[in-house]
Structure 1
Amino acid sequence: MQGETPAPSEPSLPEGRFDGREAFEGIVRAALENASRQGWRELVLSDPDFADWPLGERASIQALQAWSASGRRFVLLAQRFDVIERAHTRLVPWRRMWDHIIECRAVRPEAGSPAVPSAIWTPDWFAHRHDPERSRGVCGFDPRARRELRETIDELWRAGRPAFPASTLGL
């Protein structure tokens, strides 16, 4: 009808190559915003330390909160989690609250094993930074690329150890 303003469009998931930190941060935000909307049962984030991810932003936590529900699984794979604890302080209380759906593992880099990829994996879509230093990579819906990324993550997951606990018990 004439005179009506179209409803704002939902954030869509990008596809293709990306280049630069701003582009990568936008991809992470779009993934988190789409997780709830598309009803993803599992969300896997992988990075050596998540230092340059926008995980501590209020909007990221709100998106994760909207996504959190019964039957969901959130996986974090890293070499180290100390950066998350220092730089993404809003994520830490959210992690405590949703401990029952979150699994975290740390992987020590070893000769002959693949490096921890900087990636997002979902049942339908993925993003993979092949060059984290320059934030260059590719994202999309390609089943083969998504499967290969998941196989790498699963291999590292098996070699990892539990990390980033929701709480620390002590004397």
Structure 2
Amino acid sequence: MDRQVFPFTTKSGFAGQLAACLARAEHTLRLFDPDFAIWELGSSASDATLRRFLKGGGRLQLAAHDGKPVERDAPRFLRLLKDYGHAIEVRRTSQSLRQLTDSFCIADERHIVRRFHSDHFRGEAVFDGPADIQTSLERFLTIWDESGPGLYANSTGL
């Protein structure tokens, strides 16, 4: 397929592009956000998409500074974590990374949805653009390496 770029500036624009990115994922999903508060990980649509992805053998990695919004507002995600804990890993960033304010979802190292700052909805989605995700992928791997265990199916703590 040809590379496709979709800029967005609204919450609904972000939500639509994120849903499209999650739906395209087959093997890996790598997500970073300070707290995932606006990601709607607990919605029925996200739950269905992520269950399909995980049932097909996908692996999900999430990194965040704070997991309280997910713990408080996303009971479906907590059930998903319980059901597919072997395929989901959640990490909490170290104190040295708390200044990071971007937000992104990388699917299969081919697709990305990114907000340039987590306090704003301005961002872009790039589908079938593996070269476009390289910087964010390297950033995620660094964040991942410098983060510790987070949320578990039977306990909180992200």
- The normalised TM-score by structure 1 is 0.80
Report the Cα distance in structure 2 between the residues aligned to 1:104 and 1:25, rounded to whole angstroms. 21
RMSD: 2.2
Is residue 49 of structure 1 aligned with residue 55 of structure 2? no
Q: Structure 1: which 5+ runs fail to align? A: 1-12
Is residue 143 of structure 1 aligned with residue 124 of structure 2? no
Report the Cα distance in structure 2 between the residues aligned to 1:114 and 1:134, rounded to whole angstroms. 16
| TM superposition shift of 1:124 | 1.2
Report the Cα distance in structure 2 between the residues aligned to 1:131 and 1:115, rounded to whole angstroms. 9
Is the 8 Å Cα contact of residues 109 and 115 (structure 1) preserved in structure 2? no
- The normalised TM-score by structure 2 is 0.86
Is the 8 Å Cα contact of residues 114 and 156 (structure 1) preserved in structure 2? no
Report the Cα distance in structure 1 between the residues aligned to 2:149 and 2:79, rounded to whole angstroms. 18
Aligned to 2:106: 121
| TM superposition shift of 1:159 | 0.6
Identity of aligned residues (%): 26
Name the count of aligned residue pairs: 152
Is residue 65 of structure 1 aligned with residue 51 of structure 2? yes
Is residue 77 of structure 1 aligned with residue 63 of structure 2? yes
Pick aligned residue for 1:31 from 13, 16, 21: 21
| TM superposition shift of 1:109 | 4.1
- Please tell me whether Structure 1 or Structure 2 has the larger radius of gyration of its CA atoms: 1
Report the Cα distance in structure 1 between the residues aligned to 2:57 and 2:6, rounded to whole angstroms. 30
Report the Cα distance in structure 1 between the residues aligned to 2:119 and 2:71, rounded to whole angstroms. 21
The residue type equivalent to 1:30 in the other structure is A
Report the Cα distance in structure 2 between the residues aligned to 1:48 and 1:132, rounded to whole angstroms. 7
Q: Structure 2: which 5+ runs fail to align? A: none
- Pair 19,109 (structure 1): closer, same or farther in 2 beyond 3 Å: farther
Aligned to 1:5: none
